Chains A and B, each alone.
Chain A
Amino acid sequence: MVGYFLRRLLLVIPTFIGISLLVFTITRVVPGGPIERLMTQAQLGGETGGLTRSQSSGSTLSDEQMEELKHYYGFDKPLLAGYAEWLGKVIQFDLGTSTRYQDPVWDIIKERFPVSIFYGLSTMILTYLVCIPLGIFKGMYHGSRFDSLSSAVVFLGYALPSYVIGIALISAFAGYFDWFPLGGFVSDDFAEFGFWQKTTDIFHHAVLPLIAYLAGSFAVTTLMMKNALMDNMSADYMRTATAKGLMRGEAIRGHALRNSLIPIATSFGNNISLLISGSFLIETIFNIDGIGLLGYEAVIERDYPIVMGILVISSILYLVGNILSDICVALVDPRIRFGESRT
């Protein structure tokens, strides 16, 4: 089994190369790249990036300057050579420099990590904390009034787009009632707070965006839990358990429950990539400086080093998450032993 996972780990490399090469190619061929942006900016005589400001004084760029720019961005090399160079740097943990901020990409992303991880982790923990018990209860009392009612609520949250929920929450509880701040991750005078005040400040700011994040995320996990439990409750081995003398509750706890947690456990690994990829819509509405917003702005501004940097991190997390999922399956389900023949 260890061999199997080592092989899976090695497979991450070609998969990663595939994904990043694809996106790298797209950044090369789509119009509106950084050079074109600079050219239009130069032509309009408007504000330009730090690099060009020192180099161009006229309204158009000379051929020489163009060459210089292309060289700077690596656009003078053929696609594959450019990609190889980029990859070579990534391996040394150098994600390049943002064309917009002129700062190292890694530093910019790193700055946003705490915010994104805070929201990602809280969403994940709260989702499991609510969905697992709710799903179990709904499964045990399938068809009851509580079951139908909670389904209606959960699906309403699922059907409403999160930005609609976000805007509604802001207008109601931050605008009309003024119970919560209008946005941001922390207050402006956060640095002066004591530890306790800091903690409450973060959570005070987090309530509304968290609700917006969570509203849509309950449906899938709750229903997954409920269906898995119901499948297992009607399984033959549950009848065996009852015939042994276990009461319904004991049989569910002792047998059906653990088996129905298997699908939940296996989806766990996939969720770790969600840890850093917040929704840019919610981040925009609540003015949260997370990675979702950063990525969105980078795409709009054609800040390709940042786009590629976020891609590198999220695709590695995603690939590792998949392997984690498989490890979880193998841990909880004895029938599955990857890469081994049955005995």
Chain B
Amino acid sequence: MSSIVNRSPEKAQAKPDACLSVSRLCVSIRDPEQRDTKGRPLSSEMVSDVSFTIAAGQTLGLVGESGCGKSLTAMAIVDLLPKPQVYQSGGEISFNGQRIDSNDPKALKALRGKKVAVIFQDPMTALNPVQRTGQQIEEVLKLHFPKMDKSQRRQRSIQLLNDVGIPSPENRIDAYPHQFSGGMRQRLMIAMALAGEPDLLIADEPTTALDVTIQAQIVALLKKLQQERNMAMLFITHDLALVSQVSDHVVVMYAGKIVEQQDVPHIFSQPRHPYTKGLIAALPAAVARAPKTKLDAMPGQVPSIDAMPTGCRFANRCEYANERCEQEAPELTAHETGEISCHHWQTINEASTSGVSKNV
């Protein structure tokens, strides 16, 4: 435990340039169907002990299969969990050294949209269909820059639309969301997110709903804007290839837990966790060499929330699993280039580098 980096809140605060610090975050979900002996609804923990930090100007990629708790982690940061069914059940979240999970409405109001902005997965539904785009962007300005007058807000909105690459913004500002294509709508979302001039941008699968060419454009745009404004960015995706384009650092999640974290060069050159290895093997480059689908590469499914194994959560899909894995949950341990949560990571690594038997 003592060797683990970034885990204790003191350490996170000691790091002066840490913009966002999430420490041992737990998110639980209440099941209204199941009740304990006292009649209270039972909850189960969906996100367990998730810790990471993001520095200003840095991008952290949060990767994992669908349903592994990426969005819950992100929503917990801005207190957007659908309470009361889903709630933060543990851990601390700090922003520029201050706790932000205090549930203080005033603090939240100052945080959301102003310090931390969010871009959601589906641009088709994330915009209000009956309001003009200008009105939706200006709303952010109105909230967070009360000194701006009407014409200044409009000017600024046009400029923001221009920044995110929307052609002829003077005209498009009065259009409704349905008059834009999917890619253009995601640009609108980005413009809206940037309007508050946030220090941290959370992008929750911002390109999943878009086709590949548009995807590349949006990612490039986000990267460019992030560097220009020296924002911190939490980039959530299930696509490791995308992460390699935008991120400095990668956190890999599996079934609500962090299994590995490393910087981008190392996660690709030296993936240590069997799950990370599987994800990398499923990348297009690997597919080209040996045609396999993602499912072929990693058979099995993420365990469901009410059937979480007591041991390693990846055990049922892991080719290196043994008895110990099934009984004892591995701890996140630091090594030279990052952190790993696997009982056999050292042996696995030797095995894969020397090419010897995979049975540990």
Contact = CB atoms under 8 A, between A and B. Distances in A.
Interface in A228-266: 235-237, 239-247, 254-255, 258-259, 262
A236 B205 CA distance: 14
Contacts of A236: 120, 122, 125-126
B120 A239 contact: yes
B108 to A, nearest CB: 8
Contacts of A247: 105, 109
A342 interface: yes
B173 interface: no
Given A245-B109, A245-B112, A240 B127 contact: yes
Q: How large is the interface on A (under 10, 10 to 19, 20 to 34, 35 or more residues)?
A: 20 to 34
B148 interface: no
Contact of A255 (B105, B110, B128, B196): B128
Contacts of A46: none
Interface stretch (A186-194, A295-303, A329-337): A329-337
A103 B178 CA distance: 57
Contacts of B109: 245, 247
Interface in B3-48: none
A244 B140 contact: yes
B129 interface: yes
A334 B196 CA distance: 27
A333 B139 contact: no
Interface residues of B, number: 30
Contact of B129 (A254, A335, A343): A335
Contacts of B176: 334-335
Dominant SS among interface residues on chain A: helix
B76 interface: no
Nearest to A244: B113
A335 B178 contact: yes
Nearest to B139: A244
B285 interface: no
A245 B179 contact: no
Interface in B158-196: 176, 178-179, 189, 192, 196
A334 B80 contact: no
A262 B130 CA distance: 10
A247 B105 CA distance: 8
Contacts of A244: 112-113, 139-140, 143, 192, 196
A335 B129 CA distance: 7
Contacts of B86: none
A239 B128 contact: no
Residue picked from A245, A262, A334, most chain B C-beta under 10 Å: A245
Interface in B74-88: 78, 80
Interface in A290-343: 332-335, 342-343
11 contacts: A236-B125, A236-B126, A239-B80, A242-B112, A244-B139, A245-B111, A245-B144, A247-B105, A259-B128, A333-B130, A335-B178
Given A236-B122, A237-B125, A335-B129, 7 more contacts: A236-B126, A240-B192, A244-B143, A245-B114, A246-B139, A247-B109, A255-B131
**Complex A-B, nearest 4 residue pairs according to Cβ-Cβ distance, in ascending order:** A245-B113, A236-B125, A244-B113, A243-B118
